[in-house]
Amino acid sequence: MNPTDEDVLNPACAATRPLIDRFAQHTLHADEATAMRAHIVGCTACSDYYRRAVESAGRSGAAAREVRERREADAREQRRLRESVEGQVEPKRYRNFRIRTLLMPAFFAFLIFQIFKAQDRGPRFVVDGAIGDVEITGRPFAAYGENEVVMRRGSRCVTGKNSSAHLVCGDKTFRVGPDSELLVTGFDPPRVRLFTGELRLEGPSYVETLLGSVIVEGDDASGRVMFEANGLLVSADAGSWRFQNADGERTIAAGEHRRFRP
């Protein structure tokens, strides 16, 4: 991403934008991340740039993984076909090779279908309900009608004032509170990046924020993570909770409420 002309006029913003890009690609050093966070907390323009960079990196990573997995599956099948052809006795060898050559396009079409079918059965968030002004991946929740609303890696949920969204992943539930924005970054366990607002969660989870990451373990885990301009509030109701940032790791006991400031 390139900074706008307006950003170039601001030396602090111009110095922070490359750090944001590296943060989104997971190549930023801890000391540089501290300086980046200190600037973003007080700069609306760079905060918006940070959101766009993280969302773009999530989409690119998901697409690259899908292409790589598809190529690996194709390569494995080609090796299997080649070994099978080479193992035939000489009179049948070329006849079988021609048959397999004719069948390969249909096979690869079937393989691609199975890949997408497996994705549909794979880990995902399902939006079980919403109240008020809620957008899922840039589209109002009401516009989906009766269709199942699925959130996968790279999907974003934004709630307005006095609004909320109820998400389900497996047998665990997540509630996105009012004035919140989060991005789905992975699964097993469910991983999200909370840009602002409140998230109530159940079960093992990984919540990334600008100030650090909250790691939740235990099937019986539950609690709340709230990220606002004045800091990060973590309320652990049950389970094992940890907070990690550039300064190290801290344990949050069940029943404890901890606030972390910029």
Considering only residues 12 and 204, tell me which one the structure prediction assigns the higher pLDDT: 204
Read off the pLDDT of each residue in 200-220 and give the average, rounded to a whole number: 95
Q: What's residue 108's pLDDT?
A: 67
Q: Identify the pLDDT of residue 95.
A: 56
pTM above 0.95, yes or no: no
Please name the residue ranges forming H helices in the chain. 5-8, 11-24, 30-41, 44-86, 90-121
Q: Report whether 205 contacts 242 (CB < 8 A).
A: no
What's the helix, strand, coil split of the chain in %, to 5? 40, 35, 25
Q: Which residue has the higher pLDDT, 80 or 198?
A: 198
What phi and psi, each to the nearest 5 degrees, are found at residue 35? Answer: -65, -40
Token reading at 153: 């890696």
Rounded Cα distance between 32 and 23, Å, is 9
Q: What is the pLDDT of residue 111?
A: 66
Model confidence at 208, in pLDDT bands (50, 70, 90)? very high
* Residue 239, pLDDT score: 95
Q: What is the pLDDT of residue 136?
A: 94
The model's pLDDT over 74-115, given as tens digits with 9 standing for 90+, comes to: 778 777 777 766 655 445 555 565 566 666 676 666 666 555
Cα(237)–Cα(252) distance, rounded to whole angstroms?
Answer: 10
Domains for the chain: give ranges and CATH numbers. Answer: 1-121 (no CATH), 125-260 (2.60.120.1440)
Q: Could you read off the pLDDT of 180-195 as tens digits, one per residue?
A: 999 999 888 999 999 9
